[in-house]
Structure 1
């Protein structure tokens, strides 16, 4: 799998609406040309992962331009638009919405809670209909953009997860984490250490032969629970990508790799103005106990004179950071014989199977990461609002009471239910009838 890792694009309205006066556009154009050149040498991109700050002030017009640019970029590098994933950053928050009293109150209750009770307070706020919605008021424009990619967030769905095949017998499970739950508190900037992820987003339950890959805008040092997040991600996520700091870094450990992205469009007032991006190559190597995941990282940064992107080199002068992580084959926990005869199981074995089956059912959302299902999600959102409502009511995917929920949440829940109830094919038929 070849991944294009971007972050901090900062589409800024109204400037980004006019190509002739958009000062950031030339850097995106240089990036486009450089990516095309790299793809000619390396091969097409399989996935684009955007680590937040897609917009600058969460103006819906910024997301229109961002979506257009990302789809065009995907076409240029041989990637289908069904393989773009996004998470929110602090610039994807509408700070005016964060000044609404219900949102300020919910933020304050969580922020002021003691470390021991903060997770409990977050759950309590999320569990209340009004305060749960208030926590996501600032995400409305982001969610309207992200929903076509099935990357929206809402109460009861703090993060998203989707799977792709990485290689023979191996899946990669991509987790989009939301570090912006407390971002924009009181309509202000976020000081370092003032944000909160919570253990609710770092479960990352290990599954046999599944690699966890996390995308998060803010790195752990910007979080109140940063030490806990750092430890849990390093223990459970083989691959981690971050944005926000506009500092391009790679940290290769024995069991994981962490990439920190620079910005596609950093502020021109920054001391080091270096637009940048990464290409990450992952490959399954070997078999059985000797199986490993090969990692090749290409880091590119911009120089201003002459204007061009150049590779960052290793200490040894190589243009590629090469790494390898052991990933021995794990035996499946459910086994049947070749002729389908009945196998007597102990109580412990029966419990293990029941838990495994429950885990499979709960990962219906993860199974929606394939291209066909993501294309269906995109088509569903392109329907008229009345068609979306009629289809989901006909299939029993939402209740009449849930029609009152924000659209991104209402139909986000409905689409996951379609996967849980094996109704994806029927949903596809009904969408096709209305296109």
Structure 2
């Protein structure tokens, strides 16, 4: 399992697609290096972005990100279906997060005797959770195409299952550390909700946690670290713009460099990670084998180079796993996009494969690219909107439409409608 890990890309509306973009050459070199690493190691099976895709949460920034990621996937030989994203503080619209009423809720949560319980209370209320999440609406529209969009109170984290080499599962958990983010962020003042503490160990499952803010930025940082260290052998973060590699007995914790750090920052060092994850050993003596290729930018001469672990160009680590033997070793694994769309029902796809199921994998991405009016026309014509969708954010309505098309056996009609709309 090869995973490409980016963080803090910071596509800025005032710079992208202009001749004054200071990061144009840097991005070009980054893509060239990813292609080179993909040719050497194999194309990535997943691309994980741990937040701050945008700079100010502007729709134009997310549109540029989508196109850039599409070109990156094509260049390194992987699918857009492989992308997994979580929100960062720059993915939120600050003007909305800074509103007086929203700040009142933020302050009440942060000053409560038990802030985690107080946050859960606000997330369980439809009026207050809408206020808390409205600043992430543009991010969620972007994340919908990868089925990583969030909606409280039940869907406050994203998940994705990927097949490992021995038939076991690498389960991605995307946490939202930006739920209380605003222009008043400070280290140690942010929170995650209780869903982040419900990650558990399961036979044949290796948990990998993806979050934007480093644990030091969370008031529950020590508590969350204790929990994740017990249940998640692989942990990746961003935000601090400095790469860190921690190799521990039961877990590996990686913090990525920013793909686009501010050039005025001390120690300016753009970078990204390329991970190789596999299971080695017999079923009774399994070990997780992790090889982290940490790529960092150097100047004069310019180019991405390997960060060295003493004399080695790769950080290599082994973690003991519990005994486990696959009972479905000969079955074709459920694809990541199918697992994302259908959740616990994904296993049924193993016995329902065919041309129709192959088309499902790209359906969400193609639907996302249509204009709002074309999306709405398809939903209405196929009768896929319900009264319960009224008042929901656009990304949630369209997610429900795709799920209903599957449940009602209308995926073929849905796909044909998308093709027709693309040709108009």
- Inter-partner Cα distance in structure 2 for 1:255 and 1:86: 25
Are 2:318 and 1:328 aligned?
Answer: no
Residue 179 of structure 1, CA deviation: 0.2
Going from structure 1 to structure 2, the CA distance change for 1:372 and 1:430 (only over 3 Å counts) comes to closer
Residue 82 of structure 1, CA deviation: 0.5
- Inter-partner Cα distance in structure 1 for 2:165 and 2:382: 35
> 8 Å contact 1:82–1:371 — kept in the other structure?
no
Residues 344-393 of structure 1, C-alpha deviations (whole Å, 9 max, x = no match): xxxxxxxxxxxxxxxxx97348999x986552322343452324533785
- Inter-partner Cα distance in structure 1 for 2:82 and 2:167: 20
Matches for 1:227-242 after TM superposition, within 5 Å: 227-242=222-237
Residues 13-72 of structure 1, C-alpha deviations (whole Å, 9 max, x = no match): 121121x21011111111111111222221211111111111111111111111111111
Indicate the residue corresponding to 2:412 in structure 1: 429
Are 2:193 and 1:162 aligned?
Answer: no
> 8 Å contact 2:62–2:139 — kept in the other structure?
yes
- Inter-partner Cα distance in structure 2 for 1:26 and 1:161: 33
Indicate the residue corresponding to 1:103 in structure 2: 102
Indicate the residue corresponding to 1:14 in structure 2: 14
Are 2:281 and 1:283 aligned?
Answer: no
Indicate the residue corresponding to 1:2 in structure 2: 2
Matches for 1:79-94 after TM superposition, within 5 Å: 79-94=78-93
Indicate the residue corresponding to 1:403 in structure 2: 390
Indicate the residue corresponding to 1:149 in structure 2: 146
- Inter-partner Cα distance in structure 2 for 1:97 and 1:415: 29
Going from structure 1 to structure 2, the CA distance change for 1:365 and 1:125 (only over 3 Å counts) comes to farther
Residue 402 of structure 1, CA deviation: 2.1
Going from structure 1 to structure 2, the CA distance change for 1:264 and 1:303 (only over 3 Å counts) comes to same
TM-score of the aligned structures, taking structure 2 as reference length: 0.87
Going from structure 1 to structure 2, the CA distance change for 1:365 and 1:233 (only over 3 Å counts) comes to farther
Going from structure 1 to structure 2, the CA distance change for 1:221 and 1:57 (only over 3 Å counts) comes to same
Going from structure 1 to structure 2, the CA distance change for 1:139 and 1:375 (only over 3 Å counts) comes to same
Matches for 1:338-349 after TM superposition, within 5 Å: none
- Inter-partner Cα distance in structure 2 for 1:227 and 1:26: 39
Structure 2 spans left out of the alignment, 5+ residues: 329-341, 350-356, 419-424
SS at match of 1:201: helix
Going from structure 1 to structure 2, the CA distance change for 1:292 and 1:120 (only over 3 Å counts) comes to same
> 8 Å contact 2:120–2:193 — kept in the other structure?
no
Indicate the residue corresponding to 1:139 in structure 2: 136
Residue 200 of structure 1, CA deviation: 2.1
- Inter-partner Cα distance in structure 2 for 1:169 and 1:10: 36
Indicate the residue corresponding to 2:305 in structure 1: 310
SS at match of 2:164: strand
- Inter-partner Cα distance in structure 1 for 2:378 and 2:202: 34
Residue 171 of structure 1, CA deviation: 0.8
Residue 76 of structure 1, CA deviation: 1.2
- Inter-partner Cα distance in structure 2 for 1:271 and 1:151: 33
SS at match of 2:136: helix
> 8 Å contact 2:116–2:191 — kept in the other structure?
no
Residue 410 of structure 1, CA deviation: 2.8
Going from structure 1 to structure 2, the CA distance change for 1:69 and 1:167 (only over 3 Å counts) comes to same
- Inter-partner Cα distance in structure 1 for 2:346 and 2:135: 24
Aligned length: 394
- Inter-partner Cα distance in structure 2 for 1:32 and 1:153: 29
Matches for 1:55-94 after TM superposition, within 5 Å: 55-94=54-93
> 8 Å contact 1:162–1:365 — kept in the other structure?
no
Residue 202 of structure 1, CA deviation: 2.5
> 8 Å contact 2:8–2:259 — kept in the other structure?
yes
> 8 Å contact 1:294–1:323 — kept in the other structure?
yes
Matches for 1:134-283 after TM superposition, within 5 Å: 134-156=131-153, 157-184=155-182, 188-283=183-278
- Inter-partner Cα distance in structure 2 for 1:31 and 1:12: 17
> 8 Å contact 2:57–2:90 — kept in the other structure?
yes
SS at match of 2:143: helix
Structure 1 spans left out of the alignment, 5+ residues: 336-360
